[in-house]
Structure 1
């Protein structure tokens, strides 16, 4: 008996495999209604040539209502047309037909996670490749500007480390897993993905994309970007651009470096803005909602009744000096938006309530949900000509003499810092308070986040002035103040390695980043790997409560109880000399008796 020789199995073409992946994504990552809607939307938008239906740049921009003034449409189309080539990245840019758009929507909305196990790191690398340029002409940069990206001897060990990091093309796990998912991994293990060496994301492109992501951060899947058209002109547009510059500063010094390398991109995003690209999800889910399936509209038309227009609750209900819609979106890059948008309430504002610890305590301590503290100020000048006031001199003398350089170069910059704390505020006795979800951060002039350490838990201290405390005020990342005798009080504040200190009068603040020492309650920066310190005069101080109606109700009840207690004490006229009569009055007021001591209601 002869044996038949098995014929070798031929690898499918790129086109066949890309189509098969799109079909599997459609089946596993979308509902039938979503696919029906997508087909209807694509049919209504697509152009066609020689029986090929596809979407053009201006069509996508018009459908998603991308504001022209941002100039981001070419950047977004470049990104999308490269993602559309997945998993054959070397074939980019892709013609955006129906199959390619299914792949785009699956990846941009993170629905791929339903079938592929690879996570954020692999998607981040894919997005970088899709935004990057690989030659000078494509980047629009001059030869001198492009030179840093060329392969050349590095000037320092740090430069060499960054070059080596950028040359590391391992970790294209999302591509390999897609081939595995299709059972064709044996044919495509050695795909020639574009090298990361020499790849840059032009700073101006990333700036435009950040502005778009600041706009889309609060977006709902069926909400139009035109809802935020008022942010596209005048001072609102200036504020949006300013916020985008602060975020961009975390990636690159645009005055010195024309683009962002992968090593920088890959270190900054997970540490300082892990939710940066979340705004892509509702934006690209627009393709899954067909106007044809607006059932409410058709029902209203049959009844000859005008459609019901729902008035959306504002993203930010209260107004203050620091917090605005752009800062709110910036916060959502590292704090989940579900805790922020339409959830914040202004608890304390120094402008309105007074810059005092007593006022701060009255307004903030009764909130039983997470809070966000924001403080903005002007950097204290170090030059000789600067006239120092008595209060400034007293604050500076309380700081340790060791002084680092400024965190950024501009001497006259405005500085904005903040803290997210998940626990209620309280007085500091022997131990600090706060949990491992506490975040210390800077928003202006550079975006930076300092996450809580799990070893050192000196997160937050709140110390009111008294004869037994060394220094009053609020501090983050500093050891708790020691209760000592007056004559033995320390003359200097004990600063943590990564810490923020606000003095007891809320006049001055000091942020310290002792990168060399490390070991503090907050982790050092992934953006700035050097020692720096910012000393500033406080201009605005705000605390915002994260929560809903239940938290506000609890706080209001607590305030009302405290007001009644204070009024009861004010009305009682003691000191008659009749102890029994005085006791009877206190019992009538409900301040003593029935296991009450006259203290708090806890």
Structure 2
């Protein structure tokens, strides 16, 4: 009994002691002995010493990781690290970044913490939001006034013109749930860490900061996104300095443009000062689930010491062969695709399927804007593909009449029921990820459950596939029995018995993209109110809109390795030989035109064969 009395009277451990205990758990279960030895050596070489306390400063971390000064992101990154260093006692942030705090930071940034904290492991995004957020009563009040103003306008009441109108998105009408930050309080990752330390009790858990009204400043997030796009392809122990050419000149401008498109998914920078948690939590898991993955390889640099030279240990055996230089991250560039666009794609498509894996199969600029060229270049690729289409939004003025081809295309669309998603003449880029090979559509569409429709500019948006409606992709060549040839995504398949108000009108899906057979025009439809489509509505834009555009560029990129490329090259070579053989055929009649007419009737050359157009 005396022992029990002694235990009860023992003082509770301090936050510092518990943080050290958590760091020891991470060190034991999340790192190898070699990694831990390297980290201690790196920390010792970098740390400053004040009053016998060794710690890392902002400039030290930025310089060690190779963060480019021109991005101006070092203070943002240091704010994140200083906050996470206080985990799980976040109310103590910012933390002095000592050895134990950096162990916690690296474990969380590299996602190794999951080996210890199984419960709440998916809550890292919540912690990252907290680490980026600030609490400014003035900014928060401005935001709330804007939300109230927008809500009143949505309800039909006249807003006070003297009050600022600020909303989460330019034409979004947020409801009352957007003012609720209660979900940020229930942080399972923090609770899991406290449980692992036997730190229980309602009074202690209430001490976790709730951060009501917290938001990420728009400029801070823009800078961070530029860094995340830059480090997206970063490999193990690859130095960020090797990407120096991506942060200068036109490459830097391109990187900034991609960041603006991503930022537009969260807010209208002209009307909102920052990103609230409800919006962050709604968009990141759907539209950019791999947004923070690049931080893992970046912070793993702390686990490799240059002073540790393993080459000094000789190993008997044959000499190790010299490895060839790695392939470039992107072998070719197109009118749409470049390395920054590829990094943007890696926010929702695993980077292992993209970097050093994509190659250009078809380009409208080089191969011609025709379905025949598209088929000859794309149909024999047996690995996933990425289709990218860029265009300019057509005029939305009532009574506007464009060219004859534009009018012909618009006549195939149902009457417009939704406004455009932006201003006339704005550049748009849409795309589709397809894991199955392309083929002709008869009665059923094709595509797997991972088929993904997306938009890259002027806003980053992802439309996930439905598991019930599988009308993902339709490919219809022009023929006498086809009223609306072309490529469509998310539209019902053709049926001979299908009836529609107008037989020549395309039956658009609720979330769909349509390209005409000449690849001149396209139409993207987002009907938020309709349900049951092949693709799910946008998590960022909860309203109806329709964008009709003139196509300027169209590309298809194959996602695969050397084996897929070899098969495709062999197929192209075979088709070239076949086309050449057809050109040289002579039936011996002496009448070349008659011979060609006979061969066309037989379907050997001409419009019925893809190789005929090469003659």
1:284 and 2:285 aligned:
no
Q: For residues 501 and 274 of structure 2, what CA distance do their matches in structure 1 show? A: 54
CA shift, 1:3, in A, is: 11
Contact 2:184-2:277 within 8 A present in 1 as well: no
Unmatched runs of 5 consecutive residues or more in structure 2: 156-173, 315-321, 590-598
1:147 aligns with 2:142: yes
Residue 75 (str. 1) matches residue 73 (str. 2): no
- CA gap of 1:188–1:274, structure 2 versus 1, over 3 A, is farther
CA apart distance, 1:190: 1.9
Check the 8 A contact 1:369/1:551 in 2, yes or no: yes
* CA deviation after TM superposition for structure 1 residue 15, in Å: 0.6
Aligned residue among 414, 419, 441 for 1:428: 441
Structure 1, residues 413-461: CA drift from partner, whole Å, max 9, x if none? 1000000000000000110000110000000000000010011100000
Correspondence for 1:338: 352
Is 1:327 aligned to 2:338, yes or no?
Answer: no
Q: Please, which of 558, 561, 565 is the counterpart of residue 571 of structure 2? A: 558
Q: What does residue 595 of structure 1 align with?
A: none
Rounded to whole Å, the distance in 1 between the matches of 2:481 and 2:146 is: 62
Which SS does the other structure have where 1:41 is aligned? helix
| TM-score, with length taken from structure 2 | 0.87
Q: Map 1:386-397; keep pairs closer than 5 Å.
A: 388-397=402-411
Tell whether the 8 Å contact from 1:468 to 1:485 is kept in structure 2 after alignment. no
Q: Report the CA distance between 1:170 and its aligned residue.
A: 4.1
The separation in 2 between residues aligned to 1:188 and 1:367, in whole angstroms, is: 61
The answer to whether the 8 Å contact 2:133/2:217 transfers is yes
Aligned to 2:319: none
For residue 294 of structure 2, give the secondary structure of its aligned residue in structure 1.
Answer: helix
Q: Give the distance between the partners of 1:246 and 1:152, measured in 2 at CA.
A: 22
CA distance in structure 1 between the aligned counterparts of 2:146 and 2:126, rounded to whole angstroms: 21
- Which residue in 2 is equivalent to 1:581? none
Given that residues 146 and 258 in structure 1 are in contact (C-alpha distance below 8 angstroms), is that contact kept between their aligned partners in structure 2?
A: no
8 Å Cα contact 2:126/2:184 also seen in 1: no
Partner of 1:94: 95
Question: Would the aligned equivalents of 1:471 and 1:481 in 2 still touch at CA under 8 Å?
Answer: no
Whether the 8 Å CA contact 1:167–1:196 is kept in 2: the answer is no
Are residues 1:466 and 2:467 paired?
no
Contact residue 88 and residue 193 of structure 2 kept, 8 A: yes
Distance 2:462 2:443 in 1: 27
1:478, 1:495 within 8 Å by CA — same for their partners in 2?
yes
- The CA distance in 1 between the partners of 2:67 and 2:139, in whole Å, is 33
1:88-167 equivalences under 5 Å are 88-119=89-120, 121-136=122-137, 143=138, 147-148=142-143, 156=151, 158-164=174-180, 166-167=181-182
Residue 135 and residue 97 in structure 1: after superposition, are their counterparts in 2 closer, same or farther (change >3 A)? same
Name 2:32's counterpart in structure 1: 31
**Residues in 1 aligned to 2:610 and 2:139: alpha-carbon distance in whole angstroms:** 71
Q: CA deviation at 1:309?
A: 9.6
Residue of structure 2 equivalent to 1:351: 365
How far the C-alpha of 1:518 sits from its partner, in A, is 2.1
Q: How does 1:405-420 map to 2 (within 5 A)?
A: 405-408=419-422, 410-420=423-433
Q: 2:545 aligns with which of 532, 536, 556?
A: 532
Aligned residue number for residue 511 of structure 1: 524
Superposed, 1:447-462 pairs within 5 Å as 447-462=460-475
Q: Is the 8 A contact 2:376 2:610 kept in 1?
A: no
- 2: CA distance, partners of 1:460 / 1:268: 25
State how far apart, in whole Å, the 1-side matches of 2:526 and 2:53 are. 57
Displacement of 1:260:
0.4
CA offsets per residue over residues 63-110 of structure 1, 9 Å max, x none?
011111111000000010000000000000000000000000000000
Shift of 1:329: 0.2
SS in 1 for 2:546: strand
User: Structure 2: how far apart are the matches of 1:405 and 1:201?
Assistant: 31
Structure 2 match to 1:360: 374
How far apart are the structure 1 equivalents of 2:549 and 2:108?
44
Distance 1:40 1:193, change over 3 A: same
1:139 is matched with none
Q: Does residue 240 of structure 1 match 2:255?
A: yes
CA distance in 2, matches of 1:149, 1:80: 29
2: CA distance, partners of 1:559 / 1:5: 84
Tell which deviates more after alignment, 369-378 or 9-18: 9-18
The alpha-carbon deviation at position 531 of structure 1 amounts to 0.2
Classify the secondary structure of the residue corresponding to 1:277.
Answer: coil
Q: What is the rounded CA distance, in whole Å, between the counterparts of 1:400 and 1:414 in structure 2?
A: 23
d(CA) in 2 for partners of 1:194, 1:7: 29
Contact 1:149 1:199 in 2 (8 A): no
Q: Which runs of 4+ in 1 moved over 6 A?
A: 1-4, 150-155, 484-489
**How far did 1:20 drift?**
0.5
Q: Is the 2:420–2:545 contact (alpha carbons within 8 Å) kept by the matching residues of 1?
A: yes
> What is the distance in 1 between the residues matched to 2:332 and 2:183?
48
Q: Which residue of 1 aligns with 2:594?
A: none
Do 1:122 and 1:171's aligned partners in 2 also have CA atoms closer than 8 Å? no
Contact 2:511 2:524 in 1 (8 A): yes
The 1-side partners of 2:537 and 2:291 are apart by 20
Cα shift readout 1:496-537 (whole Å, capped 9, x = no counterpart): 000000000000000000101121000000000000111000
Where in structure 2 are the equivalents of 1:246-257 lying within 5 Å? 246-257=261-272
Task: Name the stretch that deviates more: 386-395 or 434-443.
Answer: 386-395
Name the count of aligned residue pairs: 566
Question: How big is the shift at 1:234?
Answer: 1.1
Distance 1:487 1:497 in 2: 16
Alignment check: 8 A CA contact 2:139 2:273 kept: no
8 Å CA contact 1:375, 1:538 repeated in 2: yes
Match of 1:546 in 2: 559
Instruction: Tell me the secondary structure at the aligned position of residue 243 of structure 1.
Output: helix
Q: Distance in 2 between matches of 1:15 and 1:144?
A: 33
> What 5-or-longer segments of structure 1 have no aligned partner?
137-142, 301-307, 577-585, 592-597
C-alpha distance 383-299 of structure 1, shift in aligned 2 (>3 A):
farther
Instruction: Using the TM superposition, give the Cα deviation of residue 118 of structure 1 relative to its aligned residue in structure 2, in angstroms.
Output: 3.4
Q: Structure 1 residues 380, 82: closer, same or farther in 2, change over 3 A?
A: same
